[in-house]
Amino acid sequence: MLTVLPIQDKNIQKELCELCGVDFNISSFAYRADDGDFLGTCQFYFANDCGVIDGFKTAPNSNDEEAMIIMLRTAMNFMHRCGLKSSSILPNATTERLAEISGYTKCDDGSYVINLDEFYISPCHYKKK
């Protein structure tokens, strides 16, 4: 069974980030996805009205895109419930494929963005711009 849980221990967050090749940021929030095995991590922080994802990567022996999308949606939901209007993924924080299948739009600077208000009006009918 897939579980997506917040990482509350910064030592564990650091260990899992290192395992996935993510630069650990002690100030960032983080989630982990597991199905009996560790599948990946999503690390993010708040900047003004935006949730910034600074690490969203699979574990070395995982390629479970569905689990990764569910974990990212969990982070996006948390951001939106905290009143953030948008979310961005920093350049090199994830793969292009994971960003795009998650509904984010690529910007000229290599980052990806999504409008959380528009997405949560109707996530099943959300259209990227």
Query: For position 121, what pLDDT does the model report?
Result: 84
**Residue 125 pLDDT:** 56
- SS3 string, the chain, reads CCEEEECCCHHHHHHHHHHHCCCCCCCCEEEEEECCCEEEEEEEEEECCEEEEEEEEECCCCCCHHHHHHHHHHHHHHHHHCCCCEEEECCCCCCHHHHHHCCCEECCCCCEEEEHHHHHHCCCCCCCC
Tens-level pLDDT at each residue, the chain (129 residues) = 999 999 999 999 999 999 999 999 999 999 999 999 999 999 999 999 999 999 999 999 999 999 999 999 999 999 999 999 999 999 999 999 999 999 999 999 999 999 999 998 865 655 555
CATH architecture type of domain 3-121:
3-Layer(aba) Sandwich (3.40)
Q: Whole-model pTM?
A: 0.90
